[in-house]
Amino acid sequence: MSRKGILFVISGPSGVGKGTIKDLLLSRLTDVRLSISATTRPPREGEVAGRDYFFLDSQEFSAMINRGEFLEYAQVYTNMYGTPKRYVQDKLSQGYDVLLEIDIQGAMQVKTKMPQGVFIFIEPPSIDELAFRLSSRGKDSQESIAARLAASHAEMESLKYYDYVVVNDNLEDAVNKVHSIIIAERCRVKNNC
């Protein structure tokens, strides 16, 4: 391949369905590579190092932070998670487009490091709908749902930093739209020169 790859960042509020959209896209687009995260949490059964995650100990993770080797990182409870820059850059140099699914805070960090990426915001049809989805998946307490909804309002403020917004009112439509965005971006004159 001669052209350089494009980084597509798929992001949005928690519970919006961005993980499902990412999975469906990957099953359609065999020529796209998924960014692999690094984490300090131990592997779960069936997880493969270098496929599901890069598993690091805390010292290795801190050293990578200090060397500026993450596009973004965050602490979740007692574990660290991050997106290693090198893996993404290697795939892009090889001519592969890379898909990165990430929360809004992470996307904003990535934006500062790789502003040339294509940033896609997945939006719930409405805050009411998001509340309903979070409740009905039954994974979250009422309290955590309330906290997420408050965060959601704030997160919508980030929309202006994105290139595209796709409302996930219908999963098939939303996947088709993100797929179209990927096809269109590959046709951009600036990506063909």
DSSP classification of residue 43: P
**To the nearest whole angstrom, how small is the minimum distance from the Cβ of residue 121 to its own copies?**
7
Q: Does 13 carry a binding-site annotation?
A: yes
Q: Does residue 70 belong to the site contacting its own copies (CB under 8 A)?
A: no
CA dist 98 and 39 (Å) reads 19
Give the range of 52-60, 76-84, 100-108, 183-191 binding its own copies by CB under 8 A: 183-191
Contact positions with its own copies (CB under 8 A) in 108-167: 120-121, 159-160, 162-166
CB contact at 8 A, 5 and 114: no
Residue 19, annotated ligand binder? yes
**Closest distance to its own copies from the beta carbon of 165 (Å):** 5
Whether the Cβ atoms of residue 41 and residue 19 lie closer than 8 Å to each other = no
In three-state secondary structure terms, 143 is helix
Asked if 12 contacts 101 with a C-beta cutoff of 8 angstroms, the reply is: no
Q: 67 vs 160, which CB is nearer to its own copies?
A: 160
Rounded to a whole number of angstroms, the minimum distance from the CB of residue 179 to its own copies is 8
Q: Which of 52, 69, 129, 185 binds its own copies (CB under 8 A)?
A: 185
Cα-based distances in Å from 54 to 24, 38, 62, 141: 23, 4, 14, 30
Question: How many whole angstroms separate alpha carbon 148 and alpha carbon 39?
Answer: 23
Nearest distance, CB of residue 108 and its own copies, angstroms:
14
Rank residues 1 and 189 by Cβ distance to its own copies and give the closer one: 189
- Please say whether the dihedral angle defined by the alpha carbons of residues 7, 181, 104 and 34, taken in this order, is positive or negative: negative
**Annotated binding residues:** 12-19
Residues within the interface to its own copies (CB under 8 A): 120-121, 159-160, 162-166, 176-177, 179-181, 183-185, 187-189, 192-193
